[in-house]
């Protein structure tokens, strides 16, 4: 992952997203072993990011949960149109989903070509999740 040593060049995007659909199911079940699932999620973004995100994540439930996946967001960031991909990793524990995002280098299209960044969210209420993304263009 990229080291963010030069934060002076970055801007912060904030806003919220709502889950439009969540389709999760098991993919590797074994008796007496933690549950493994895969989820496809569609989210509607508002704020500095406007558009729709489609993600695919793999989760393991062992006490709490850990998850890793990718999300393509199609729309705009601070008025610039295109799409980009976020790599996400997180945990769900004690009713809080904590996710860290990193923009996949080279994934930006259109006016979002050259986008780099990282951010995420801490969600306790899944009906509307507040996000942050520190970003810059190279």
**pLDDT, tens digit, 9 for 90 and up, residues 42-78:** 999 999 999 999 999 999 999 899 999 999 999 999 9
Query: What was the pLDDT predicted at 6?
Result: 52
Architecture of domain 12-137: Beta Barrel (2.40)
pTM: 0.90
Domain spans of the chain?
12-137
Query: What was the pLDDT predicted at 8?
Result: 66
- Helix (H) / strand (E) element for 95: namely none
Residue by residue, DSSP assigns 4-67 as: ---GGG-EEEEEEEEEEEEEEEESS--TTS-EEEEEEEEEEEEESEEEEEEEEEEEEEESEEEE
């Amino acid at each position: 992952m990229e080291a963010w040593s030069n934060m002076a060049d970055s801007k912060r995007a904030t806003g919220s997203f709502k889950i439009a659909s969540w389709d999760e199911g098991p993919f590797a079940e074994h008796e007496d072993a933690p549950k493994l699932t895969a989820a496809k999620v569609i989210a509607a973004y508002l704020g500095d990011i406007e558009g729709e995100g489609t993600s695919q994540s793999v989760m393991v439930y062992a006490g709490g949960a850990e998850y890793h996946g990718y999300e393509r967001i199609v729309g705009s960031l601070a008025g610039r149109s295109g799409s980009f991909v976020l790599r996400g990793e997180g945990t769900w524990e004690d009713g809080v989903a904590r996710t860290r995002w990193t923009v996949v280098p080279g994934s930006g299209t259109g006016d979002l070509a050259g986008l780099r960044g990282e951010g995420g969210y801490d969600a306790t209420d899944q009906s509307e999740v507040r996000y942050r993304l520190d970003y810059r263009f190279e």
